Amino acid sequence: MAKHVVARTAEIPPGGRKLVTVRGREIGIFNLDGEFFALFNRCPHQGAALCSGEIVSRLESALPGDYRLSRPGEMLRCPWHCWEFDIRTGQSWCEPNSVHARTFPVTTEPLVAETVDVTIAERYVVVTL
């Protein structure tokens, strides 16, 4: 396992995402209100490019006629068969116990990059893989 710097935090605003390739693997980096999450860009169902799917909320209801929108912008809907996955955990909504999208640990870390005459100190998104 190694750490890989994949983006500057400023590149992925809240609600945004970036597709990166780490050691040959496509990974989607998502920013949920300042927290970063990484999902393998491959749907556990039949392999679609999951991370290009629409970002949606969770529509919940205990009973018909009682509707609640929860977790706004925290679900990812697969572009092929519309299974929905929790961006935070990779858990699928339809079979949470058996179907998961693969996730990777993400941190943000301050790094210093020096060039000839400028020093840029910024936070970077780092994936462990």
Partner 1 sequence: MTLTHGAIDCDIHPTVPSARALLPHLEPYWREHLLRRGLERESFDISAYPSGSPLTARPDWRGANGLAATNLAAIQAQLLDPFRPSAAICNVLHGAQMMMSEDLSLALCRGINNWLIAEFLDRDPRLRASITVPIHSAELAAEEVERLAGDPRFVQILLLAMAELPLGRRQMWPLYKVAEKYRLPIGIHAGSSFRHPPSAGGWGSLYLEDYVSYAQGFAGALNSLLAEGVFQKFPDLKVVLIESGVSWLPASLWRIDKTWRGVRSEVPWLAQLPTEIVRDRVRMTLQPFDSPPDRAALARVLDQIGSDDMLLYSSDYPHWQFDGMDVLPDGLPPALLPKILFDNPRATYPRLAALNPVGETTA
> What's the order of all strands across the beta sheet hosting 54-60?
54-60, 68-77, 84-86
Q: Is 60 in the site for partner 1 (CB under 8 A)?
A: yes
What is the spatial distance between Cα 50 and Cα 38, in angstroms, rounded to a whole number?
12
43 binds, among partner 1, ligand FES, none (CB under 5 to 8 A by kind): ligand FES
**Residue 13: alpha-carbon gap to chain centroid:** 12
The conformation of residue 38, written as its DSSP 8-state character, comes to E
Draw the binding track, 43-62, toward ligand FES (x: CB under 6 A; -: no contact).
x-xxxx--------------
Q: How far is the CB of 73 from partner 1 (least distance, A)?
A: 14
Q: Which two tokens stand for residue 101?
A: 């999208």
Draw the binding track, 67-86, toward ligand FES (x: CB under 6 A; -: no contact).
-----------x-xx-x---
What is the spatial distance between Cα 15 and Cα 94, in angstroms, rounded to a whole number?
23
Q: Is 47 in the site for partner 1 (CB under 8 A)?
A: no
The residues in 84-123 that bind partner 1, with binding defined as CB under 8 A, are 84, 93-95
Q: How far is the CB of 13 from ligand FES (least distance, A)?
A: 26
Alpha helices in the chain (DSSP H): none
